[in-house]
Amino acid sequence: MNMIRTAMLLAVMTALFMGVGYLIGGSGGMMIAFLIAAGMNLFSYWNADKMVLRMHHAVEIDERSAPELFEIVRGLSQNAELPMPKVYLIKSDQPNAFATGRNPANAAVAATTGLLDRLSYEEVAGVMAHELAHVKNRDTLTMTITATLAGAISMLGNFAFFFGGNRNNNPLGLIGVLAAMIVAPLAAMMVQMAISRTREYSADRLGAEICDQPLWLASALDKIARAAGRVRNDDAERNPATAHMFIINPLSGERMDSLFSTHPNTENRIAALEAMAAEFEETRSVAPTGPDDAPPPATTGSDGPWERKADKPESRGEKPAAKPNPWGRNPTGPKGPWS
């Protein structure tokens, strides 16, 4: 049902694009807009992931430059039965993340340095599981093409301001100009937000299943939402059409669960995850257990973002090794992209 709804929304986006073309140039403009939309969809299919990653100045990392993040993604990919995606790091103090790529075999996940600096190991795992859920659900291509079309419709709306005065080109006169400038971009934004919001709850649930810990993602969402409102993401502000791709809206000033919000209300998402965690606990309590089914030792939340107390060398009577900084770069080891 979600895939059918998404396909219908994409069809609406294409129709809006053609409608703006008609308002600018009549039937000829509509045909040109259709050809442009088809060309953009084809181009986006092959290149959208690279475009989005370049917009946010993402740098690809590996197990040498960011070993812990890379290992998290590799382990979760195995849990999700997905090919290992490319992993990128974005230099931004705002904690956030997104996934992109035309299919699971060509996917990429990206996290900001702020995410790795502010969240615990478990919370980062919850976020990466959410992004891999988008890959598994094949949301990444849909959301990227939608971002491209939404940006193009807004661009055509601006063109209407310059070309709308010619009655030979614009059959609806001033009304057509106003519709192209205001109504069409607004409608495109509403469709874009609808597509994003239909996918987030599904990705939250599947992501929680991938990491088997709904509360990891719930805690991460709470931290990211609170920090995103205080920390500006300059690349996202310059490219607002990509906002719906992030796990939490990176733009300033959007807080309501309304028609114009890029994401569902964070409190609602957390409540759904908490309910899911209760379901997990109930299932585990009635399932037969053996000596191999014992849960892992409890961890505390005050041991820093990337080191869990149970894993600390000093807890085993060993001398602690040199600790990498929060995103996994060891000052004495290979230099990473931000070194």
Which residues are tagged catalytic?
131
Q: Is 130 labelled as part of a ligand binding site?
A: yes
CA angle (234, 235, 238) in 5-degree steps: 85
Counting Cα atoms < 13 Å in the Cβ hemisphere of 127 gives 30
Report the C-alpha gap between 79 and 77 in whole angstroms. 5
Whether residue 318 is annotated as binding a ligand: the answer is no
58 Cβ neighbours under 8 A, 6+ residues apart: 88, 89, 90, 110
Q: Which tokens is 173 given?
A: 């006169």
CB 236 within 8 A of CB 246: yes
Place of tokens 């979600």: 2
274 annotated binding-site participant: no
Which DSSP state fits 280?
Answer: H
DSSP state of 68: H
State the first-to-last Cα distance of the chain, in angstroms, to the nearest integer. Answer: 46
- Residue 186 tokens read as 């607004």
* DSSP label of 248: S
Q: How far is CA 22 from the centre of its chain?
A: 33
Instruction: Give the span between the Cα atoms of 209 and 206, in whole angstroms.
Output: 5
Burial 65-80 (b: 16+ CB within 10 A, else e): bbbbbbebbeebbeeb
Residue linked to tokens 């791709």: 245
Structure tokens at 20: 């703006």
110 pairs with which residues across the strands?
88, 98
Residue positions in the annotated binding site for Zn(2+)?
Answer: 130, 134, 200
- Binding site, by residue number, is 130, 134, 200
